[in-house]
Amino acid sequence: MGSETAQKKILVVDDETNIRLLYKEELEDEGYKVLLAENAEEARQQIEKEPPDLVTLDIKMPGMDGLEFLNQVKKKYPDLPVILCSAYGSYKQDFRVWSSDAYVVKSADLRELKLMIREVLGF
């Protein structure tokens, strides 16, 4: 919880309200500014309006799924770090996740996600 996290913005993209709110609360406790989006279209608008330092992205979402959105984000913003979050570990074998900066299996315990965020952001 150092000052290095203070101005870092994280965009949480997940179609489940309770997950978005949990991530927001936990990451704000770590000192991040947290932006929320419930689908790929909302996330795209958010990125254009207020570019984040990092995106956490759910894979299974209605409409455009996270892997398709990841592909679009990496084409347009190649340097924007994206951490995929999924309830399913099986996606780790999917070559489409390789362009993400990290992959975290969803859990009520966010320690792994927080560690991954710090690692990807470089502190």
Task: Give the model confidence (pLDDT) of 13-62 as tens digits.
Answer: 999 999 999 999 999 999 999 999 999 999 999 999 999 999 999 999 99
- What gap in Å lies between CA 55 and CA 84, rounded to an integer? 8
- CATH number, domain of 44, equals 3.40.50.2300
- What gap in Å lies between CA 17 and CA 4, rounded to an integer? 28
Q: Is pLDDT above 80 for 94?
A: no
Task: Name the pairing type of β-strands 102-105 and 54-58.
Answer: unpaired
Range of the domain at 63: 3-121
- What gap in Å lies between CA 120 and CA 72, rounded to an integer? 20
Domain count of the chain? 1
| Mean per-residue pLDDT, 59-76 | 93
Other Cβ atoms less than 10 A from the Cβ of 59: the count is 23
Does residue 43 contact residue 65 with C-beta atoms inside 8 Å? no
| Mean per-residue pLDDT, 79-96 | 79
